[in-house]
Amino acid sequence: EVQLVESGGGLVKPGGSLRLSCAGSGFTFSNVWMSWVRQAPGKGLEWVGRIKSKSDGETADYTAPVNGRFTISRDDSKNTLYLQMNSLKTEDTAVYYCTTIKYWGQGTLVTVSS
Amino acid sequence: DIQMTQSPSSLSASVGDRVTITCRASQGIRNDLGWYQQKPGKAPKRLIYAASSLQSGVPSRFSGSGSGTEFTLTISSLQPEDFATYYCLQQNSFPPTFGQGTKVEIK
């Protein structure tokens, strides 16, 4: 059974940093491009970014609102995806999901507030 | 970025009704489109991929069609468990973009 389990969410002040993790199991993690998608309270889904597999270069791409502030990385030895979020803004408040596109984690809530 | 315009934004329907949701892309995306169902407090679940391929385990009352810029999700006979919000997602070019969602409510 495929599982994606996010962790690391919480309350952070504007300008602060947070690192999210996503542990994958039940599939060959190293072969899969992984992504982060977020959903602000009561709003729709928004793509954050993705990281390719190592065999495809392990490069990461980001949407404009987070480019330069967020960094996606992966540790295939631990089957874990990361999202490092810096210079957080109130508008980054959302549930953050990791996803293979087909499979999704349950999400972790990030609240940016003073 | 490719804009995905989804309609309607909400609809009310009864159990047994046929429901159709549309997504229009701002430029051609071939068949690089998926449909997702999301229930309150839950993660999205993929129903359809490649515009018309049914995800394994998804009931056959769900179907997708379209190519290029116009796509539809059809629920042939709405069931109580289908009341949810539905999103389309294009993956033809980066960044992937979602439609704004269609909330299907009980009439």
| Sheet of strand B70-75, all strands in order from the earlier edge strand to the far edge | B4-7, B19-25, B70-75, B62-67
B47 touches B65 (CB < 8 A) = no
| Closest CA of chain B from A65, distance in Å | 11
| Closest CA of chain A from B76, distance in Å | 23
- pLDDT at B107 (0 to 100): 86
- pLDDT at B34 (0 to 100): 98
Q: Does B34 touch chain A (CB under 8 A)?
A: yes
> Cβ contacts (< 8 Å) between A40 and chain B: which residues?
none
pLDDT digits 0-9 by tens, A59-88: 999 999 999 999 999 999 999 999 999 999
The residue of B23, B89, B102 whose CB has the most chain A CBs within 10 angstroms, and thus the best one to mutate to test that interface, is B89
- pLDDT at B106 (0 to 100): 86
Separation between Cα atoms, residue A21 and residue A88, nearest integer Å: 17
B46 closest CA partner among B29, B57, B34: B34
pLDDT digits 0-9 by tens, B14-62: 999 999 999 999 999 999 999 999 999 999 999 999 999 999 999 999 9
| Closest CA of chain A from B2, distance in Å | 12
Average pLDDT over residues B67-86: 97
Q: Which residue has the tokens 């309270």?
A: A41
Instruction: Share the mean pLDDT of chain B.
Output: 97
Q: Which of A44, A61, A99 sits opposite B87 (nearest CB)?
A: A44
pLDDT at B104 over 90: yes
Separation between Cα atoms, residue B100 and residue B87, nearest integer Å: 7
Give me the half-sphere count of Cα atoms (radius 13 Å) on the Cβ side of residue B85.
Answer: 19
Separation between Cα atoms, residue B72 and residue B32, nearest integer Å: 13
Instruction: Please identify every stretch of chain A with a pLDDT value under 50, giving residue numbers as ranges.
Output: none
Chain B residue whose CA is closest to A64: B95
